[in-house]
Structure 1
Amino acid sequence: MNKYVKYGLIGVLVLGALWAAAFFIKSNSKGAITYDTKKPFISSIEKKTVATGKVIPREEIEIKPQISGIIDKILLEEGEDVKAGDLIAVIKVVPNEQALNSAQGRVRNAEAALANLQIEYDRNKQLYDRGVISNQDFNNLKLRYDQAVVEVENSKADYRIIRLGSAGGSSSANTNIRATVNGTILEIPVEVGDQVIQSNNFNDGTTIATIADLNSMIFEGKVDEGEVGKLKIGMPLEISLGAVENQKLEAKLKFIAPKGIEEAGAVQFKIEGDVAVNDSIFIRAGYSANASLVLEKKDSILVIPEALLQFDKETDKPYVEIATGDQKFERRDIEIGISDGVNVEILSGLTEEDEVKIWNKTEPIKRGEDEEEANS
């Protein structure tokens, strides 16, 4: 091999080794991280939980017909305010053929029985007036006659009810569907021409309309089993509506379910709260809402940011590092209390004069140096 080539290769290797050494020294010559500190301070902490749910009317009244038929007219619309007695809809009676025929037969039978008793009554009345029959026999006959008259009237009334919907000959008594309470019509689930069924012992009947008072609302939501034990009847709630921004409603907890319901592997308990309705906000039934409940609150306590805490890997007990000199720190075990997720209460181990190390500080990335190193 030519000695010039040999010397050239040696020179390249030397230059490469020098460049690698320089790069290594440069990469490891960055200064150590300088840690900042923060002192404990006096503040207040509220431990809260949030229950998701909705705002609904305290009571919803379902208006049902007293007779079966077909919807003939609907006079009001959903969202209208009504008073007790206002006409909502009119039903047209469509009698059952079998029931109608049976009622007609009962009327004919009653009239025939009355006609027969009428003849017997007239004949015995003459005999009674002449003293031929006793007073007791005539009274028994008169009782049977009066009962036959009543049976004719009853059978005719039943026939009119089946055919017209009312015993008085006018169908307005049963076929006019009226509001039973004051409120707002939330829903009218039927349309003109729909067939409806009356409410009876075996059937709830068809709902013509649903009415509720939107000035009397409650919050209905659920809380986790881990927090339900901290709730008490009468606790204040702060209601946030999903459909109304920057508005809060006040409420008071009035009900906690005695039995939980398992949902997605977690046990949830139903809660209810009386909502104080603000006249400036129109609340619709079924608005989604969140209720904020203060589970625990402490005022004027010593706190530090929760991010300053460290935990022992073996005992899992909290500790912090306290400054003892310029960038010199020592471990200090502490006791902590409640936390709101930002600040944590210090029960013992620290004073307001201590300087707590911000241990999780990160060094900002120097983009210019990194790009030069990558390019080289």
Structure 2
Amino acid sequence: MKRIIVFGGIALALIAVLIWFGKKNSASPIEYETEKPFKATIVKKSVATGKVVPLEEVEIKPQITGIIDRIIVEEGAIVKAGDLLATVRVVPNEQSLQSARGRINSVQIQLNNAQTQYERNKKLFDKGVISSQEFEASQLSYNQAKNDLKNAQNDYQIIKRGSVGSAGANTNIRATTSGMVVEIPVKKGYQVIQSNNFNAGTTIATIADMTKMIFEGQVDESEVGKLKKGTNIEVALGAIEDKKFPAVLNFIAPKGKDEGGAVQFKIKADVSLDEEHFIRAGYSANAEIVLNKKDSVLSIKEALLQFDRKTEEPYVEVKTGDQEFEKREVKLGISDGVNVEILEGITEDDEVKIWNKVSKDEEKKEN
């Protein structure tokens, strides 16, 4: 009984194997489809990433060191040259203040002495005791001493109040150009430093002409050699969908910078704005730059190309009969990543094998 069961199992296994081989051999062979070359316009583009910034941007800095007392305008305000932006309250340096007071006292002593000599010499000159030259020398010293005292007093007022008189010329921060206030990096109570030969000074406000915008971006070293000044490009902004702004390339950096192992070159382009959209400074942007363009050239899809494993030369398989193909080497032109120009190797009448198309059975398995 056991032998019958064993032999029966073996027989069933053999039958199953024979059925599987029969189905496999009866499966239809792979049938390849073909496509014909076609005429197409191929545009090779380079995309530069960057942002849009104002062409003219001015930083307003104080002429004195002090503390922000008032901020008159807000970010986004339109101002004209000369408009008041903020006021600064002077906090005098105690050492400088004491030094200025000491200079006033010193000059006052000199003035008192010069005045005494002048009055004495005047009496002597009126009596004819001294010459006019000696009298004029004492008069000059007296006038110089008066002028020195006035200058010392002005210096003291500048150190103490920031200006001479009540006009507040230095404490009032005014716009030096017309435009929009795009940034106010300080607040009331902030301490600010004046601009001088050793310090750039504290920026109180930044004013820009928002009607003139430029694109600033970077391109890779492999493509910078193909760019030319005056090239028309299109700028797409991340904040504005389905809209591209025309621009003209006007600057290509003569020196690149190493960023993450790749050398990048800065480019700039004048952007043409419209009245419909308000472009804010700092919008992220992509610029499409046409490197090469060919109209109505013989083309195929890049997916139809194959490459020889030994020579790495491109080739396609051309139909010669029913599911029969021959290998043809081709010479390629420009490519846009989807279609590629064919210079030599095939004609418009040839049928090219679609060698990498997934069959319906394979699609079902993947699903």
Of 45, 49, 52, which aligns to 1:52? 49
Aligned-residue CA RMSD (Å): 1.9
Q: CA deviation at 1:15?
A: 2.8
Q: CA deviation at 1:103?
A: 1.2
Call closer, same or farther: CA 1:367–1:226 in 2, change over 3 Å.
Answer: closer
**Mapped contact 1:56–1:218 kept (Cα < 8 A):** yes
Is 1:307 the counterpart of 2:303? The answer is yes
**What residue identity is the alignment partner of 1:97?**
E
**What residue identity is the alignment partner of 1:20?**
V
Alpha-carbon distance in structure 1 between the residues aligned to 2:113 and 2:15: 138
Call closer, same or farther: CA 1:195–1:328 in 2, change over 3 Å.
Answer: same
Alpha-carbon distance in structure 2 between the residues aligned to 1:328 and 1:8: 51
Alignment partner, residue 353 of structure 1: 349
Alignment partner, residue 337 of structure 1: 333
Is 1:154 the counterpart of 2:147? The answer is no
* Residue segments in structure 1 that go unaligned for 5+ positions in a row: 372-376
Alignment partner, residue 220 of structure 1: 216
Alignment partner, residue 105 of structure 2: 108
**Mapped contact 1:303–1:345 kept (Cα < 8 A):** yes
Is 1:63 the counterpart of 2:55? The answer is no
Is 1:242 the counterpart of 2:238? The answer is yes
Alignment partner, residue 161 of structure 2: 164
Alignment partner, residue 274 of structure 2: 278
Alignment partner, residue 323 of structure 1: 319
Alpha-carbon distance in structure 2 between the residues aligned to 1:179 and 1:369: 71
Q: CA deviation at 1:143?
A: 1.4
- Once the two structures are superposed, the pairs formed by residues 4-153 of structure 1 within 5 Å of their partners are 6-153=3-150
Q: CA deviation at 1:369?
A: 10
Q: Determine helix, strand or coil for the equivalent of 2:349.
A: coil
Q: Determine helix, strand or coil for the equivalent of 1:354.
A: coil
- TM-score normalised to the size of structure 1? 0.93
Further displaced range: 182-191 or 129-138: 129-138
Partner deviation per Cα, 1:172-222 (whole Å, 9 max, x = no partner):
201011111111112111111111111112211111111111111111111
Alignment partner, residue 250 of structure 2: 254
**What residue identity is the alignment partner of 1:305?**
K
**Mapped contact 1:165–1:171 kept (Cα < 8 A):** no
Partner deviation per Cα, 1:330-373 (whole Å, 9 max, x = no partner):
111111111001110010111111111111122112799999xx
**What residue identity is the alignment partner of 2:218?**
K
**Mapped contact 1:51–1:290 kept (Cα < 8 A):** yes
Q: Determine helix, strand or coil for the equivalent of 2:75.
A: coil
* Residue correspondences, number: 367
Alignment partner, residue 374 of structure 1: none
**Mapped contact 1:60–1:211 kept (Cα < 8 A):** yes
Alpha-carbon distance in structure 2 between the residues aligned to 1:293 and 1:143: 74
